[in-house]
Chains A and B, each alone.
Chain A
Amino acid sequence: MPMIFFIEPGGARREVEAPLGITLMEVARQHAINGVVAQCGGACACATCHVYIDPTHLAKLPPPEDMEQGMLETAWNPQPNSRLSCQIHITPALAGLEVTVPAQQR
């Protein structure tokens, strides 16, 4: 299982094991990471699982589809490295991934 790091709002750093085959949002929820709300449960319908992906890993991810892109544009404080964590599937390539959780979801 790849290890990944969450930086919660306020700066706390959490290191967790991420099971392959589930999404980054589900990993966050399993570990009760602060600030990842994920109301819609991964349907790409709410934009409350918005996170920032570290630049090294950002390039390794498949780019966002139109629905996700449209959600991100009006998410709270979107950045070029913004993603919806429900749309990111855990693969071995994500070992060492650093995910920063925004101070708020909207």
Chain B
Amino acid sequence: MSLIAEEPELPYQRPPLSKKYLAGEMAPDRLLFRHQSFYDEHRVELHLGVKAVRLDATAHQVTLSDGRQLTYDGLLLCLGATARRLTCPGAELAGVHYLRGLADVEPIRTGFKPKARIVIVGGGYIGLETAATSIHMGCEATVLEMADRVMNRVVAPVTSDYFAREHRAHGVEILCDTRVVRLEGEGRVERVVCADGSSRAADVVLAGVGAIAATALASDAGLACDNGIVVDEFCRTSDPSIFAAGDCTNHPSLRYARRVRLESVDNAFEQGKTAALNLLGRQVVHDRVPWFWSDQFDNKLLIVGLAEGHDRQVLRGTPESRSFSVCYLKGRELLAVEAINHSKDYMAARKLIAERAPLNPDKLADPLIALKEAV
């Protein structure tokens, strides 16, 4: 088995990159999934720091950036996603950062000095987690969000309001309905200018404005791609000897009866495992209820399921208690739950969503009744 990766490090976990690792509170070797000895012992040949630049699906051959060619019987593409870039004037200035990989962290951390003015473009997971970390490191943080509320694509208004309040209470300035039109500075970014003409002084700009599936290698090789590499429920691409897994795939969700592309640790793990089994000749279906989490200050946001298509939201508990959840229903079927500092509802929801258990909305609205009993 050969593992090819553009990044020079042994495979590592990304979630701490915007949190403890950015804050300098986690040694780099704690990010690693496995140490070198594991790969040696299992005879995995590592090709790190080289990129797979060309895939010839007919000849079953992968060309690496150092000119070498590897021939395969089976191939698994785990290409991930890349940070969407700002396109406004000034986006190329020094001091404008994106956070996706280990190599991105060091320059950002260097800029996060006490009292440094950090302007974050995008109030999603990355933007808000980084804002929280920068405050923790003694910086001043401003978050500029285009929509009318933070995390608008992934949580309910009540949850957006709760997190915006938490951030403001810690000193983060959050501006919604605010579109960035220009970055200014002499070689290095000094100012972020918004559509309404207002501006913010910036020592560091960090843009967290979404990610794009890395599909170039696959599409150049003629594999079907459409917002991700198109795979079936067995993780197989349009070429029967090539599989794909993780953020780079557009795959069917049987549970939600539609195709999805997920940026999720759980999906990366589980689709990867399923793809590996199928690559070895098994016939295992990948069909998970996706879940996501985010840590911001001392708050943990846990989300399970996909809310799209719901016809009703039910709030359990109150934001004032700092522990509550929002349930998304379609009729009596639970589609998704977002739980704020409430692991019990989250864990119960994982099971109920997967089982498609019909719920009783009146019981559901009573936070004194356990979610698992709201049937």
Contacts and interface: CB of A to CB of B under 8 A. Distances in A.
Interface of A: 22, 26, 29-30, 32, 37, 39-41, 43-47, 66-71, 73-75, 106
A43 B348 CA distance: 18
B351 interface: yes
A39 B13 CA distance: 9
A43 B34 CA distance: 18
A17 to B, nearest CB: 13
Interface string B1-40: 0000000000001011000000000000010011100100
B85 interface: no
A84 B375 CA distance: 28
B344 A70 contact: yes
Categorize the interface residue count of chain B.
20 to 34
B100 interface: no
B15 A26 contact: no
A26 B27 CA distance: 12
Contact of A70 (B33, B38, B347, B351): B347
Contacts of B33: 29
Of A26, A41, A66, chain B has the most CB atoms within 10 Å of the CB of: A41
Given A74-B344, A74-B347, A40 B293 contact: yes
A26 B293 CA distance: 20
Contact of A43 (B269, B295, B344, B351): B295
Nearest to A37: B269
Nearest to A65: B343
Contacts of B343: 44, 66-71
Interface of B: 13, 15-16, 30, 33-35, 38, 265-266, 269, 291, 293, 295, 300, 302, 341-344, 346-348, 350-351, 372
Contacts of B295: 43
Contacts of A30: 34-35
Given A29-B33, A32-B34, A39-B269, A45 B347 contact: no
A7 B372 CA distance: 31
B347 A32 contact: no
Nearest to B33: A29
A43 B347 contact: no
19 contacts: A26-B30, A30-B35, A37-B269, A39-B266, A40-B15, A41-B15, A41-B16, A43-B295, A44-B343, A45-B300, A46-B293, A47-B347, A67-B341, A69-B343, A70-B347, A71-B347, A73-B344, A74-B350, A74-B372
Contacts of A68: 343
Contacts of B302: 45
A74 B344 CA distance: 8
A74 B343 CA distance: 10
A106 B302 CA distance: 17
Contacts of A32: 34, 38
Given A41-B13, A67-B300, A74-B350, 5 more contacts: A22-B30, A44-B343, A66-B343, A67-B341, A70-B347
Q: Which 7 pairs of residues, A with B, have the shortest CB-CB distance?
A: A70-B343, A70-B344, A74-B347, A45-B293, A41-B13, A71-B343, A67-B343
B45 to A, nearest CB: 18
Contacts of B348: 74
Contacts of A45: 293, 300, 302
A68 B350 CA distance: 16
A22 B16 CA distance: 15
B336 to A, nearest CB: 16
Of B13, B34, B343, B372, chain A has the most CB atoms within 10 Å of the CB of: B343
A71 B291 CA distance: 14
A44 to B, nearest CB: 7
Nearest to A68: B343
B1 to A, nearest CB: 16
Contacts of A74: 344, 347-348, 350-351, 372
Contacts of A46: 266, 291, 293
A37 B350 CA distance: 17
